[in-house]
Amino acid sequence: MLRVAEHFERSDTGRQRRNNEDAYFARSPLFAVADGVGGAQAGEVASHMAVEVLEQGLPDDGGSVEARLGARVAEANARITELGRRDDRHAGMGTTLTVAYVGEHDLSVAHVGDSRLYRLRDGSFERLTDDHSLVEELVRSGKLTPQEADAHPQRSIVTRALGSEAGVEPDTRTWPARDGDVYLLCSDGLTSMVPEARVGDVVAAAGSLSSAGRKLIDAANDAGGRDNITVVLFRLEDVATGGSAAAQDTSEHTAVEPAAAAAEAPMAATAAHEAPAAPAARRSPRAPRRDRGAAGKRRRRLPRLPAGLVAVVVVLAIVLLGAYYASQTVYFVGTSNDGFVSVYRGLPYDLPGGLSLYRVNYESGVPVSGLPAAQKRIVTANKLRSKNDAEDLVRRMETGELASG
């Protein structure tokens, strides 16, 4: 019988992205990657909705694994389509979805869009899914070569996605699985930046899945990082030959802070580099009541705080709360810990105890060290700006439109 011996998951916004529309689910035996389409906020909502459906696991009945995977995909599609129909803010939203299920002796997949599933077996790296994209259709019809497709300006256009229509049909398939198989699920933010052969070389040469995952994301960012980059890797082993039946948890989780408030529901995914929401903690059982005698029935009198101290605490809390909410309406341009020009939301102040009144809203690919002196002064001044003003300033630095004088 096969089990998942090791897995790694991570999502990154990429150097040139402000929002992460990707979501992933990684809990044996189910693994999935969803890449939202239809705008930053709407796409993120769609991908998270797909992941929330998968968190339920497969239906208990409904036939084969492929049929039950298809049922979950249909449920996610129905939810996304319905929300887009009744809420104009989410009209046209959708998401790709590639989900893999590890059985006792095989692996099944349901797939819609251009996220991908790969397998590394005995040194051979093979793609197991076909993209539902414009350029892939042209390649299959012989109108484009794979090399031409890699550089085609419309390679990001998908021809099938959840939310696009009521009856989206996923591709489903099952393959025999083996001890030692390594599987990679990823969004097109990886494969549009890094050639497929290079991806295979990284996975095959890495000493661990966590090392492979980090190297893949770094390679995509080094190549430009124009899109969200999500990587899910897992390795199978045969319980009969792999040792203890209790799988060792060697996974690593990194998710991106959602940009839209509607997408802040807990998920097994999600950046820019925060841990994914964990399953709800179990409620601790109540401690048994002690038998209380006559003395125990008396109420303890708690010491009263002076009225003046209470008033000071209340006023201080109101002031701090007001300052926090005010800080969420302003932005400034500064330098990230990695030395890149970034947009921050909040006030450029640090409080005692390691607290700060700001957080990264967007990290560009522009190194501060390479800026002209005048632009360095702009970045280090941390002047408060509107969101549009801060983003426009960074965009002009990225494109070279900002004058150096």
pLDDT tens-digit map of 307-349? 667 667 776 767 666 666 556 678 899 998 878 889 898 888 8
Q: Higher-confidence residue: 302 or 276?
A: 302
Task: Tell me, yes or no, whether 223 lies in a domain.
Answer: yes
The pLDDT score that the predictor gives to residue 289 is 41
Contact 397, 370 (CB under 8 A): no
Question: How is 116-165 classified by DSSP, letter by letter?
Answer: EEEEEETTEEEE-S---BHHHHHHHTTSS-HHHHHT-TTTT-BS--BTSS
pLDDT tens-digit profile of 166-218? Answer: 889 999 999 999 999 999 999 999 999 999 999 999 999 999 999 999 999 99
The pLDDT score that the predictor gives to residue 322 is 63
389 and 253 housed in the same domain = no
User: Minimum mean pLDDT among 160-174, 264-278, 280-294: which range?
Assistant: 264-278
Question: Above 70 in pLDDT, residue 137?
Answer: yes
pTM of this structure: 0.62
57 and 196 housed in the same domain = yes
What is the span of the domain harbouring residue 390?
A: 327-399
When pLDDT is averaged across residues 235-253 and rounded to a whole number, the result is: 60
pLDDT tens-digit profile of 285-295? Answer: 333 344 444 44
When divided into structural domains, the chain yields a total of: 2
Task: Tell me, yes or no, whether 279 lies in a domain.
Answer: no
pLDDT band at 250 (very low <50, low <70, confident <90, very high): very low
Provide the total of helices (H) and of strands (E) in the chain, helices listed first. Answer: 11, 14
Task: Tell me, yes or no, whether 305 lies in a domain.
Answer: no
Task: Tell me, yes or no, whether 288 lies in a domain.
Answer: no
The pLDDT score that the predictor gives to residue 157 is 84
259 and 381 housed in the same domain = no
Question: How is 51-99 classified by DSSP, letter by letter?
Answer: HHHHTT-S-S-SSSHHHHHHHHHHHHHHHHHHHHHH-GGGTT-EEEEEE
The pLDDT score that the predictor gives to residue 38 is 67
Whole-number Cα distances in Å, 152 to 17, 149, 204: 20, 5, 28
Which of residues 263, 284, 300 is at a domain's end? 263
**What span, in angstroms and rounded, lies between the C-alpha atoms of 188 and 192?**
5
When pLDDT is averaged across residues 224-252 and rounded to a whole number, the result is: 73
State both tokens at 99.
Answer: 């989900």
Q: Higher-confidence residue: 103 or 277?
A: 103
Q: Is the dihedral of CA 177, 182, 187, 190 positive or negative?
A: negative
338 and 252 housed in the same domain = no
Question: Above 80 in pLDDT, residue 72?
Answer: yes
343 and 232 housed in the same domain = no
- Position 119, amino acid: R
Sheet holding 30-37, edge to edge: 22-27, 30-37, 94-102, 106-112, 171-176
Task: Tell me, yes or no, whether 390 lies in a domain.
Answer: yes
Q: Hey, how many other C-beta atoms are within 10 angstroms of the C-beta on 359?
A: 12
Q: Higher-confidence residue: 272 or 162?
A: 162
16 and 119 housed in the same domain = yes
Q: Higher-confidence residue: 376 or 323?
A: 376
Q: Higher-confidence residue: 224 or 254?
A: 224
Question: Above 50 in pLDDT, residue 264?
Answer: no
When pLDDT is averaged across residues 273-293 and rounded to a whole number, the result is: 39
**Tokens 């990284």 found at:** 202
Question: Above 90 in pLDDT, residue 26?
Answer: yes
189 and 73 housed in the same domain = yes
Mean of per-residue pLDDT scores for the chain: 80
User: Minimum mean pLDDT among 109-113, 160-164, 269-273, 277-281: which range?
Assistant: 269-273
The pLDDT score that the predictor gives to residue 174 is 98
Contact 267, 246 (CB under 8 A): no
Contact 50, 95 (CB under 8 A): yes
Question: Above 80 in pLDDT, residue 383?
Answer: yes
DSSP E strands: which ranges in 239-308? none
